[in-house]
């Protein structure tokens, strides 16, 4: 079963934004992810019809306070404060699923920090396919229009520092750039 966690709407930031290095951490990490935006939802959505609920896709970053996450894991506590903080979910522009050749998208997912490639994977290699994630999550909660799901990340996650420029890209979907600033 995948590990699910929530990020409130105020975690969202946009392409080109300067995001603040969050307080109470000394180990902020990047995770490039395919983001799925829903146009409709429900409970117990069958995997076979899960893509019918998708509006579109974008590239996103799941920023994580890794030191807080490790402490929470060790103590058997939830990850909320490690994953949910101001600017924790930068996302690019949504691309409607109907305009794509493949639904869900196929191709590479990459992330660079200050021009150095750190993450380089294929969406096909992700552990949890989009229809399966929608199905499994809808068994736990009722999904609705406007919900977004971040789908997991390829190898290569790593630390960020104030001043770092982060560029993420998904083939056929688009690009996302942020700059980390001192909090």
Q: What would the mean pLDDT of 120-138 be, rounded to a whole number? A: 96
> Is the model's pLDDT at 181 over the cut of 90?
yes
10 part of a folded domain: no
Mean pLDDT across 156-161: 97
Report how far residue 165's alpha carbon sits from residue 9's, in angstroms, rounded to the nearest whole number.
23
> Strand runs (DSSP E) across the chain, as ranges?
12-14, 18-20, 28-30, 32-38, 54-61, 64-65, 89-91, 95-96, 108-113, 116-122, 148-150, 158-160, 165-170, 174-181
Residue 166 has pLDDT above 90, yes or no: yes
> What CATH number does residue 55 fall under?
3.90.850.10
Residue 166 lies in a domain: yes
**Could you give the number of structural domains in the chain?**
1
CB 146 within 8 A of CB 12: no
* pLDDT tens readout for residues 108-128: 999 999 999 999 999 999 999
pLDDT of residue 57: 98
CB neighbourhood size of 182 (10 A)? 8
CA distances 5 to 79, 80, 92, Å, are: 7, 7, 20
Res. 146 pLDDT band, cuts 50 70 90: very high
Three-state SS for 6? coil
> Looking at residues 26-44, what average pLDDT do you find?
98
Is 76 inside a domain boundary? no
Which residues have a Cβ under 8 Å from the Cβ of 34 and sit 6 or more positions away? 57, 59, 60, 104, 105, 109, 123, 126, 130, 150, 151, 152, 170, 173
The pLDDT confidence band at residue 139, using thresholds 50, 70 and 90, is very high
111 falls within a domain: yes
Residue 85 belongs to a domain: no
Q: Name the DSSP class of 2.
A: P
Tell me the mean pLDDT in the region 39-63.
98
Q: Is residue 34 part of a domain?
A: yes
Other residues' Cβ atoms within 10 Å of the Cβ of residue 9? 8
Confidence of residue 183 (pLDDT cuts 50, 70, 90): confident
Determine the average pLDDT of the residues in 52-79: 97
Give the model's confidence band at 97: pLDDT under 50 very low, under 70 low, under 90 confident, else very high: very high
Compute the mean pLDDT over every residue in the chain, rounded to the nearest whole number: 96
| Residue-level pLDDT at 29 | 98
Give the domain range for residue 114: 27-60+93-174
Task: List CB contacts of 99: < 8 A, sequence separation 6 or more.
Answer: none
Stretch 5-20: mean pLDDT? 95
Domain contains 169: yes
Tell me if 123 is assigned to some domain: yes
Q: Which residue stretches of the chain are H helix?
A: 66-74, 80-83, 130-140
Q: What is the pLDDT of residue 7?
A: 94
């Amino acid at each position: 079963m995948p590990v699910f966690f929530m990020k409130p709407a105020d975690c969202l930031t946009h392409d080109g934004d300067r995001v603040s290095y969050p307080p109470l951490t000394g180990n902020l990490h990047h995770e490039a992810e395919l983001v799925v935006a829903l146009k409709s939802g429900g409970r117990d959505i069958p995997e076979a019809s899960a893509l019918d609920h998708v509006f579109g896709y974008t590239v996103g970053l799941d920023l994580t306070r890794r030191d807080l996450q490790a402490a929470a894991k060790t103590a058997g506590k939830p990850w909320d404060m490690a994953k949910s903080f101001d600017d924790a979910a930068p996302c690019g522009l949504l691309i409607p699923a109907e305009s794509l050749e493949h639904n869900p998208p196929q191709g590479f997912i990459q992330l660079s920090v200050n021009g150095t490639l750190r993450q380089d994977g294929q969406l096909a290699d992700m552990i949890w396919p989009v229809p399966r994630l929608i199905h499994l999550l809808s068994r736990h909660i009722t999904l609705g229009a406007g919900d977004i799901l971040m789908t997991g990340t390829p190898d290569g996650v790593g630390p960020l520092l104030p001043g770092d420029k982060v560029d993420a890209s998904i083939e056929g979907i688009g690009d996302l750039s942020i700059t980390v600033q001192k909090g």
